[in-house]
Structure 1
Amino acid sequence: MPKITYVDHAGTARTIDGQVGSTVMETAIRNNVPGIDAECGGACACATCHVYVDDAWMEAVGPSEPMEQDMLDFATDVRSTSRLSCQIRIKPELDGLTVTTPARQG
């Protein structure tokens, strides 16, 4: 199982086994990761699962789709590495992925 590391805005890290085919958001919710609210349940209809992808992982994660880019307009403190964790599907190549949650969700 690919391991995903979630770092909160204070720097506390949690590494969790992710299931291939699941999303980074679903894995966070199942494991009570703080800082990922996921109010829409993963429908890409809000921005409350906003994360910052570690620079080293941006290429492996891939670019965001236009719908996700539109939803990021509602997120707080958007950066070049911002993604919605509901749109990052876990695959074996993401073993070791690190994402950081913002200080607050939009």
Structure 2
Amino acid sequence: MAKITYKSFDGTTTIVDVPAGRSVMRGAVANGIAGILAECGGGATCGTCHVYIDEDNTVPLPPMLDLEDELLEVTASERKDNSRLGCQMPVSEDMDGLVVHMPERQL
């Protein structure tokens, strides 16, 4: 289990325990966190779970695969150096303390 902090664009901060093996996106959806739409259910086809990793992050993250990298080029909000897709980040206990920020819009 890892504590993940989700910061919505409107400033709302929610901290939830996400079980290991569940994605950052699924953690948000299961806890009703606004700002993560997850239209494709985690299939890496829609980009509506786009998040920005906190700039002060020291938590180890899984590597970005080519499919995620390509899909981030067509997200509704600007891609940044710290952009990731929540569905492509399975949570591990090492990710305890991860902070993600939701973009202004997903569609």
User: What TM-score do you get using the length of structure 1 for normalisation?
Assistant: 0.94
Mapped partners of 1:94, 1:16: distance in 2: 12
Q: Does 1:31 align with 2:40?
A: no
Q: Residue 32 of structure 1 aligns to a residue in which SS?
A: coil
- Larger helix share, 1 or 2: 1
Mapped to 2, the partners of 1:7 and 1:61 lie a distance apart of 18
Q: Which residue of 1 aligns with 2:49?
A: 49
- Alignment match, 2:73: 73
Q: Which whole-Å CA distance do the structure 2 matches of 1:93 and 1:48 have between them? A: 25
Q: Which stretches in structure 2 are left out of the alignment for 5+ residues? A: none
Instruction: Give the % identical residues.
Output: 40
How many pairs are equivalent? 106
Q: Is the 8 A contact 2:59 2:95 kept in 1?
A: no
State the alpha-carbon separation in 2 of the partners of residues 68 and 82 from structure 1: 10
In 1, Cα distance between the equivalents of 2:87 and 2:56?
A: 20
Alignment-mate amino acid for residue 28 of structure 1:
A
